[in-house]
Amino acid sequence: MLWRVRTTLPDRPGALALLAEQCGMADINILGLQIFPGVEAVTDELVLRAPDDWAPERLIALVEASGGTSVRVLACTEAALTDQPTRYVQAAREIVERPTIFPEVVARLFDAEAEPPGEVGDAMELTVGDVVVQVWRATAFTATEHARGAALAALVSDVLAEVPHDRLNVDGRPSYVVTDDAVSAVVDGVVVGRAKLLPSDEPGTRALSLNVEPGWRRRGVGTRLLVDAGRLANALGADEVVLATRSGNEAVLPLVLSAGLRGRIRMAGNELTVRVPVRDLRPLPL
C-alpha cells in the first residue's frame, strides 16, 4: 500500500539516512522524496510502499523513532509519484489557459483539505488582484511552498490583467429590482438573475445566494448583483456577505475581481467560500 508521509527532521548529517535505514529494515520501500529546507530543521515528504498490514499509527511510530517530528501520514495513489516540477508546469499551463480555476488548481497542487477544527492545521493565503485566495490543510506549509504559491498567484494576476473583466454589454439591459432582502435582474418582466440575502449565525454577516440564468452569464449581471447585494446588506446593518459554492465554480474569481471588491476566497474540501466586506460600500436605498 502507498502512503504519503510528511515529517520534520533535524538539519544534521545522517538524519534522513537513519529514517531510510529504519524503512529498509521494516521492508518499506521509499518511492518518492521531496525536501523542503529550513533554518534548523528540514521538512521531508516521502511516498512509501509498506506491507498491507501496516496502519498509519505504525508508520508514525517508525518515523518518530527515527527522529522525525510533526509526522503526518495519508494514504495515496500512484499519482503521488508524479515528478514535482512536472506537476507545477502542468498547473501553470492550466492557469494560463483558464485562470479562473486558480483556487481549484492551487488547492489540488498543495493537497489542500477540508478546514480543520479549532486551531489545528495551517492556511496559505495568495493574493490575485484585490482577492485573497486561501487554502487549508492539516500539515504546515513550508517556506518553499509559500514561495511557489506566490509565484503562481503572480502568474494569474498577470494573465488576468490582459483579459478585460466582464461588464454589462447586452441588448435589452436588465433593470434591477430591490426588495427587503434581495436584488433581482429583470428583462421584459422575466427574472434572469437574483441575489438574495439570508440569515447567518455569524454576527454582522449575511449569507448570500446568487444565481444568473445561463443565457445571461458573462455579461456583467452577476457583478452588478453582487455589488448591489453588498450595498443592500450594508443598509441592513451587515459588515460582510458570505457566498458558498462548489469548488469548481469558475465564475467566482472573475466575479469578485470585476466587482472591484476586496474579497477572500477560501477553499475547504469540495466547497469554495467567498467573504466580501461591505461596510465601506454605499448603502443601497430600500
Angle between the 221-235 and 252-259 helix axes, to the nearest 10 degrees?
A: 60
In the chain the first and final C-alpha atoms are separated, in Å, by 61
C-alpha torsion sign, points 218, 243, 205, 200? positive
Read off the pLDDT of residues 182-198 as tens digits, 9 standing for 90 and up.
Answer: 999 999 889 999 999 99
Read off the pLDDT of residues 48-83 as tens digits, 9 standing for 90 and up.
Answer: 999 999 999 999 999 999 999 989 898 888 878 888
Average confidence score pLDDT of the chain: 87
- 250 pLDDT above the threshold of 90: no
Query: Is the separation of the CB atoms in 133 and 274 below 8 Å?
Result: no
- In the chain, pLDDT over 70 holds for what percent of residues? 93
- In the chain, pLDDT over 90 holds for what percent of residues? 47
Which residues lie across from 127 on neighbouring strands?
132
Residue 117 burial by Cβ neighbours in a 10 Å radius (0-12, 13-18, 19+) = exposed
| Nearest in space to 102 (alpha carbons), one of 94, 110, 114 | 94
The confidence band for 225, taking pLDDT boundaries of 50, 70 and 90, is very high
The x, y and z cell numbers of residue 12, run together, are 544534521
Predicted structure pTM score: 0.70
Task: Report, as an integer, the average pLDDT of 220-238.
Answer: 93
Strand order in the sheet with 175-178: 122-128, 131-137, 264-268, 271-277, 240-246, 205-212, 190-198, 182-187, 175-178
Strands, E assignment, the chain:
2-10, 29-37, 41-49, 69-75, 122-128, 131-137, 175-178, 182-187, 190-198, 205-212, 240-246, 264-268, 271-277
How many whole angstroms separate alpha carbon 261 and alpha carbon 253?
A: 11
Cα 61 to chain centroid, rounded:
31
Task: Report, as an integer, the average pLDDT of 149-163.
Answer: 86
Task: Report, as an integer, the average pLDDT of 162-173.
Answer: 54
